[in-house]
Structure 1
Amino acid sequence: MSAVVTGDVVVSASGLQSIGSPSLWGLTIAAVILLLAMDFLITRNPHRVSMREAVGWSIFYIALPLAFGVYIWFAYGSTQGVEYLTGYLVEKSLSVDNLFVFMLLLSAFAVPVELQQRVLLYGIVGALVLRGVFIAVGAAALSAFDWAFLLFGAILLVTAVKIFKDALAGGEQTTEVSDMRSVRLLQRLMPVTDDYRGARLLVRDEGRRALTPMALVVVAIFGTDVVFAIDSIPAVYGITEDPYLVFVTNAAALLGLRALYFVLQGAVRNLPHLNYGLAFILAFIGVKLALHWAHDQWPVVPEIPTLASLGVIVGTLATVTLTSFYATRRSAQRVG
C-alpha cells in the first residue's frame, strides 16, 4: 500500500490519516520485540514472582507508555496525545478484566506458580499477533465501508450487555476448559502427559511425541485472545481511527500484563463493580461510534469529542473503584 507523508501525518492510499510513518512503525515494532525478548529472558528460569518484583515491573510498564504519550503529545499535537491516552486507558481497563479469565485458566489447568508468568507471556505474544491482524482488517473496513462504524458499535453494545448480565449473575466470569474446541482437538490429535515438564510444550514420552499440559493451557489462552481482540479493537477504534495509535495502545496495555497479573491477583477480586464500569465504557464507546457514523451522514448530528470520552472513562473507572472498595468494606464489616 502506497502512502504520502504530509508534515507529521501519513495519508495511506485508502485515505486513512496516521502519525505512523514507516520509520516510527519500524522503531515501535523493534521496541516491542526487544521488550518481549527481555521478558522471555526474565522468565527463562521458572520462579515464583514476588510482590516486589511484580510491582517494580508494573511501574516500569505503566511509566513507559505514559512517557511515550508525552512524546506523542509534543511531537504530533494535543489531539493525537489525548487519543493515545484515552485509547491506552480503555485497553488497560479491558486488560484488567481479562485477568479474571487468565486466573480461571491457570487455576483450571493447575499451572505451577513458577510457570505462570511464562504462560502469560505466551498469551501476550499471541494477543499482539492477533490484534495486529484485527487492526489491519479494521483499518481496511473503516476506510472502505462507512457502515463498519455501526458494526463495531454493535459489537461493543452486545459485549457490554453480556458483561452487564454476567455482573448481575454474580460478577465472576466462568471458563469451561473442557468446552474449548481447540483444547479438545489437541487432545484427540496427540497424547498429553499427566504432568508438567517445566516450560516445555512438546516432549518424547515412552518413545512417542506428546503434548504437555503447558501446551494445552497456551492453546486455551490463545483462544481467549481471539475473544479479547474482538472486544478491544472496536473499542479503541471508537477513540481513534489512526491504525498506529490503535496498535501502540494495544501493545502498551498488553506488554505489562504479565507483571500486572501478579499485582492484581488478589486485588481484582476486591473490585466487584469493575464489570459494571467496563460494560458502561464499552456501551458508551459503541454509542460514540454510531454518532460518528451518523455525523458523517448528517452533519447536524453531534459527535462526542475525544476529550469528553477521556473524562467519561476516567470518571467511570474512579467511580467503580470507590464503590467497589466501599462495598467490600461493608461486606467485611458484616462478616466481622
Structure 2
Amino acid sequence: MSLGTFLSAPEQQGSIADTTLWIVTVAGLVLLLAIDIFLTRRPHEVHMREAVGWSVFYLLLPVAFGFYLWAAFGGTASVEFFTGYVVEKSLSVDNLFVFMLLLTAFAVPAALAQRVLLYGIVGALVLRVIFIALGAAALRSGTWAFLLFGLVLVLTAAKVLKEALKGDEQHVDIDSMRSVRLLRRFVPVTGDYRGFRLIVREQGKLAITPLALATVAVFATDIVFAVDSVPAVYGVTEDPFLVFATNAFALLGLRALYFVLQDVLARLRHLNFGLAVILAFIGVKLVLHWAHGVWTWVPEIPTLASLGVIIAVLVTVTLTSLRAERRDRAASEPPDPRPTERSADH
C-alpha cells in the first residue's frame, strides 16, 4: 500500500475518517507545526511560564478532540483514542529522556535546544506516518500481523526491562552512533554552533555544524521509537486514522513539555519498568487478539480495561519513583546534631 492510497482511501481500510477529516486533521497539524517554527525563529531560552502554558494547551487539545470523536463517532472511537494517546504519550516521555541525553552529550546551547527538539518532532511525525501506512498494509494482508506486532512488543518489553534492572545511569555514546560517524567521515564539522544554521561555508568549502550532528542523532533515535510505538498503538485500535491522531497529538507539545519535565525526568527512575509492563501487556493483548481469530474461545482484553491497566501502571511507577527519590534524599542528609527532647532531659 502506498502512502497516497493510505491517505486517499480511508473508507477502504475500516477507518472512521473520510477524506475530508483526514485533510482537516493534517492541515491542523501543519498549522500547529508552522506556529512552533514561528515561535522558535529566534534563539532564546524557554522560561517555565512559557513552557507550562504551551504544555497545558497541547494537553487540552487531545481532550477536546477525544470529546469530538465521542460526539461524532461514539464512545468506542473516543475510548480507543484516549487509550492510544496515553500509551503514545508515556512512550514519548521516554523519548524526551533520550532527547535530553543527546542535547547534553552534544552540549547544545539552551537557546538552540527547542529548535533541535522541533526537528526531532517533525522527523518523528514523518516516520510515524510511514510506519502507520506499513502497519495498515500488514494488517490488511492477514491476521498474522497481530501476532508479529505482539511478539515485537514482548521482545521490546524484555529489552527495556533488562536495561531497567541493570540500574546503571543511562548515557549516550555519540561516537558509537553510525549516522554521526558517517557524517564526520565525509563532511567537515565546525568547532562551534552557528545559531540555527546546519550547513555553513568555511574557506570555500561546505561544513556542517554541531547542530546538524545533534539533529541527525535525534532522527536516528526517532526510528527506534517509531518501531516500538506504532505496533503499540495498533494493539489499541486498528483504525489508521486513530493511530495517526494518537501519534500526532502525543508528539505535539513535546518541545514545551521537555522544558517542563527536564528536571523531573531524571527522577522518574521507575519509568522504564512501567513502560516494559505496558509494552508486554499490549503485546499479550495483540497475541490474544490473533489467537481469538483462530480459536474463538480465546478471550480478548477490552480497550476500556487496557486503559485502566495502563493508567494504573503509570500512576504506580510515578508514585514509587517519587517515594524512592524522597528516601534517597533523606538518607543523604546529615543527621541532626541537636539532642532529642528525651536525651536533653537526661
Note the 1:99-248 alignment, pairs <5 A: 99-170=96-167, 172-248=169-245
Instruction: Give 1:271 deviation, angstroms.
Output: 1.2
Partner residue, 1:263: 260
Cα distance change, pair 218–301 in 1 and its aligned pair in 2 (3 A): same
Partner residue, 1:51: 48
1:110-154 per-position Cα deviation (integer Å, ceiling 9, x unaligned): 100000000000000000000100000000001102111111111
Would you say the 8 A contact 2:11–2:18 is kept in 1?
no
Would you say the 8 A contact 1:3–1:11 is kept in 2?
no
Cα distance change, pair 129–146 in 1 and its aligned pair in 2 (3 A): same
Instruction: Give 1:23 deviation, angstroms.
Output: 0.3
Instruction: Give 1:206 deviation, angstroms.
Output: 1.6
Which of 27, 32, 35 pairs up with 1:30?
27
Q: Per the alignment, in what secondary structure is the counterpart of residue 203 of structure 1? A: strand
Partner residue, 1:11: 11
Aligned partners of 1:198 and 1:235: how far apart in 2? Answer: 37
Aligned partners of 1:305 and 1:174: how far apart in 2? Answer: 38
Would you say the 8 A contact 1:149–1:292 is kept in 2?
yes
Structure whose CA Rg is larger: 2
Q: TM-score, normalised by structure 1?
A: 0.96
Q: Does 1:290 align with 2:295?
A: no
Moved over 4 A (4+): 1-5
1:243-282 per-position Cα deviation (integer Å, ceiling 9, x unaligned): 0000010000001100000111011111111111110000
Would you say the 8 A contact 1:194–1:213 is kept in 2?
yes
Return the letter of the residue paired with 1:52: R
RMSD of aligned alpha carbons: 1.4
Instruction: Give 1:4 deviation, angstroms.
Output: 11
Aligned length, in residue pairs: 329
Q: Does 1:88 align with 2:93?
A: no
Identity of aligned residues (%): 64
Aligned partners of 1:61 and 1:2: how far apart in 2? Answer: 26
1:35-73 per-position Cα deviation (integer Å, ceiling 9, x unaligned): 000000000011001011111110001001111011011
Partner residue, 2:343: none
- Structure 2 gaps of 5+ residues are 334-346
Instruction: Give 1:11 deviation, angstroms.
Output: 3.4
Cα distance change, pair 259–137 in 1 and its aligned pair in 2 (3 A): same
Partner residue, 2:314: 317
Higher alpha-carbon deviation: 157-166 or 23-32: 157-166
Q: Per the alignment, in what secondary structure is the counterpart of residue 18 of structure 1? A: coil
Q: TM-score, normalised by structure 2?
A: 0.93
Return the letter of the residue paired with 2:244: F
Q: Per the alignment, in what secondary structure is the counterpart of residue 84 of structure 2? A: helix
